[in-house]
Structure 1
Amino acid sequence: MRSLIIKIVVWVAFSGAFLSCKKMDSTYRQFTESGKIIYPQRAVKPVIYTGRNRVKIVWLKGTDQSVIRAKIFWNNYTDSLEVPIPPGADTISTIIDNLPEQSYVFNIKTYDAKGNVSVPVELLSATYGEKYQDGLLIRPVNLAEIDEAGKLTIVWGNADISGGAYATEVTYTDNTGKALMKRFPISDSLSTVTGVKKGTTFQYSTLFLPDTLSIDTFYTPAVTENVMMKLDKSGWVASADSYAATSQLANGGGPPQFAIDDNINTFWHTDHTTTKPPYPHWLAADMKKVFHVARVELTSRPNAITADATDYIVQGSMDGSTWTDISSFIMPNTAGPQSFNIPNAPAMRYIRLYMTKGPNYYAHLAEFSVYGYE
């Protein structure tokens, strides 16, 4: 009897479960086709590209020809963009504009004509804008110099590579007066441009990509850079604390003008036969115009490099009477031109080499050149 009761209970429970399953299956089929959920093919191999207050999203359409549109959601599904998918398309591409600078989570869903929706594809990305722009650092110029042939040489300082710097654009004026632009990779520590018009400036900007998938290039504000050149000394007037009027050179002794004649075989020499003045000595030049002086270049007498003055102070003046110390250096015992940079390229009409020390009581110099710009 007990066994019969158990069998009856099991049969009732099974019958109830069967009827319940049939009812649930009937309800479920209202949302399926042939008993299966329809999921259109989702976005295939999507890639998201960052940009300036925008992103670009690209994906492959895939093989499911029933997909007719897609919808991209962001900001927790509060914002969206619908993207039509043409029948013959292989690749789908769209840009979402006007996005504030921040990080984003995007979800892509595809749809067929019956409204069936795919499983979403999630993409993480970010946009860049004023905050990123304001943090960009322009690459410094350590040296910008043009030679007599119009060849511009630019020596670059360190670039902010970690911040995305990848190139520098230089806009210059050629010999015809036309503005031209050249782009140099950030790996260049030295760049050259030929055919540049002497006496002109150039403008440059550093280019940045926030990341390797950015569709927008960011530029630092353009900076105008002065180009220094060897100043033309014709018309200059040299003076000195003293000079050898008759000794040294058979063609006229050692006057100060010989130090600015672009001839290393002539030279200035202090008087060492009559008054024999000791240190300090000085050699000055009236450049006849105001220049920004960025560098001086000194050349020793070829056969007397160990007898030159050793300790120099470079001085500048606007009137030739009141002098200001602007730089100092030690002259090495080296043949050929020796260059010495002047910080901040101060403006002056008169320039003076003030010599305070040397191996002898006298001083001499074969050539004195100045590099700068107006």
Structure 2
Amino acid sequence: MKHQSIIRYNLIAFIIVLIFPGCSKENDSIAPFIKDGEIIYATRVDSIQSFAGNNRIKLALTLPPNRTATKAIISWNDNKQVKEVPINSTDKVAEVVLENMPESSYLFKIYTADNAGNKSIALLTSGVSYGEIYQNSLSNRIVASTDLDRLNSKLTINWSGSAQGEINTMVSYTNKSGTASNITVLPTESQTVLNEVKAGSTVYVQSKYLPERKAIDAFTVLKKDEILIDLRPGNYIAVGTRANYNADGSLASSVAIAIDKQLDRTTTPGIVTTNDIANLGNFADSKMTLTFKEDNTIEVSGYISTTAPIVNHPTLPKSTYDPITGKLFLRYKYTNADGAYRLIEEVLSPKP
């Protein structure tokens, strides 16, 4: 029995010798790292989202429910720029908008810190800032075609397909009463109808874009496209009188006017021409020019048979245009080579 006990004790001693030297070497390997005490990390954020903007970027930091962190520290440009964000104990998400970010892509390093100065392991995320380069790449939605209903003062706009990132297109116009109106056109819409548009006014088209689906800023195209609403060119029914005077000023006769006329568009907005003068018919060597003014008066000029001048009526008020009805009230005079002259009063109504 005694011999067995000695063997047992020697075996135990041998095992102890094997164990303790190993433990000593293991402790020696980590000693330098814990000589100042245990390393404590602050709780890091759960996730990060970035949102593009106009020379700025928004970061949303999702926070864990049980946390020690009291602030988040964001750095970029090789840690040359740093932003600290306070974290409240009740916040589920901490948000920050980084302003004055030149148009570019960025890589952010984010870690948290607690009141004791302990920091979390850093997380990385990327973000994009848009600016002048993106702005200058944008254009307004393309107008495929327009259909102008002169009789009802109605403009139909047919659109081409919308571009990537387009969120809407604003169409601005003036109605018959002179009131400014706006219509917002969505990318899914292919046609827009403007009712009671004012003749001689301009329709403006301006589109708006988001550079990314969740971007915090929209970009509006800097220059508006224009559509001139010129209801005045077209076909009319003319009714009135032509008074024929001799060179001495005596009235020779009076003739009724009842004739269809066509007013032709020119390259200059607000100016139309016609070869149908009074009730003389259409002559290639004759032309009357109607210049529409902002106050809806009309300046009449031109010539008959190349040399006979056409001018405003010498005694009656100037010719006028009614933008509500689309009618023209013309009063003018032309003089023949022998001195005889004609005074004309006629009303031109848009032909259905």
The answer to whether TM tops 0.5 is yes
Among residues 150, 155, 159, which one is paired with 2:158 in the alignment? 155
Q: 1:144 to 1:91 in 2, by over 3 A?
A: farther
SS at match of 2:201: coil
- Name which of 107, 110, 115 aligns with 1:108: 110
Give, in angstroms, the shift of residue 88 of structure 1.
1.4
Name the amino acid aligned to 1:45.
Answer: S
TM normalised by structure 1 equals: 0.56
AA at the equivalent of 1:63: P
User: Within 5 A, what are the aligned runs for 1:175-186?
Assistant: 175-186=176-187
SS at the partner of 1:127? strand
- Residue 134 of structure 2: SS of its match in structure 1? helix
Q: For residue 57 of structure 1, report the CA deviation from its aligned partner.
A: 0.8
Secondary structure in structure 1 of the residue aligned to 2:133: helix
* Counterpart position of 1:351: none
Map of 1:43 onto structure 2? 45
| Aligned CA distance change for structure 1 residues 287 and 145 (closer, same or farther; 3 Å) | farther
RMSD, aligned CA: 3.9
Question: How many angstroms does 1:114 deviate by?
Answer: 1.5
Contact residue 169 and residue 205 of structure 2 kept, 8 A: yes
Structure 2: how far apart are the matches of 1:71 and 1:83? 6
Q: Is 1:207 aligned to residue 208 of structure 2?
A: yes
Instruction: Give the C-alpha shift of residue 25 in structure 1.
Output: 4.0
Written as runs of structure 1 = structure 2, the 5 A alignment for 1:125-144 is 125-141=127-143, 142-143=145-146
Task: Give the distance between the partners of 1:320 and 1:144, measured in 2 at CA.
Answer: 34
Matches within 5 A, 1:79-90: 79-90=81-92
Give 2:169's aligned residue: 168
- The whole-number CA distance in structure 1 between the counterparts of 2:140 and 2:291 is 29
Pairs within 5 Å for 1:1-374: 18-30=23-35, 32-33=37-38, 37-141=39-143, 142-143=145-146, 145=148, 147-159=150-162, 161-162=163-164, 164-220=165-221, 221-229=223-231, 231=233, 233=236, 257-258=259-260, 288-290=289-291
Separation in structure 1 between the aligned mates of residue 83 and residue 239 of structure 2, nearest angstrom: 72
Q: Give, in angstroms, the shift of residue 192 of structure 1.
A: 1.7
Tell me the secondary structure at the aligned position of residue 259 of structure 2. Answer: helix
Stretches of structure 2 lacking an aligned partner (at least 5 in a row): 1-15, 241-256, 264-281, 293-301, 307-349
Q: Supply the distance in 1 between the matched residues of 2:30 and 2:188 (Cα, whole angstroms).
A: 67
Cα distance in structure 2, aligned partners of 1:118 and 1:319: 89
| 1:204-245 per-position Cα deviation (integer Å, ceiling 9, x unaligned) | 2111211212111111122332123254735599xxxxxxxx
Q: TM-score, normalised to structure 2's length?
A: 0.59
How many aligned residue pairs are there? 250
Shift of 1:179: 2.5
Q: Deviations over 1:263-305 (max 9, x none)?
A: xxxxxxxxxxxxxxxxxxx7879564158xxxxxxxxxxxxxx
In 2, Cα distance between equivalents of 1:287 and 1:153? 30
Q: Report how far residue 154 of structure 1 moved.
A: 1.7
Q: 1:228 to 1:115 in 2, by over 3 A?
A: same
In structure 1, runs of 5+ residues without a counterpart are: 1-10, 238-254, 262-281, 292-317, 323-368
**d(CA) in 2 for partners of 1:234, 1:109:** 80
2:260, 2:171 → 1: CA distance? 39
Q: Amino acid of the residue matched to residue 71 of structure 1?
A: I
Aligned residue for 1:245? none
Higher Cα Rg, which structure? 2
User: SS of the counterpart of 1:131?
Assistant: helix
The 10-residue stretch of structure 1 (118-127 or 167-176) with the greater mean CA deviation from structure 2? 167-176
1:100 is displaced (CA, Å) by: 1.3
Distance in 2 separating the partners of 1:236 and 1:44: 81
C-alpha displacement of 1:153: 2.0
Summarize the Cα distance change of 1:175–1:258 in structure 2 as closer, same or farther, 3 Å threshold. Answer: closer
Distance 1:64 1:38 in 2: 15
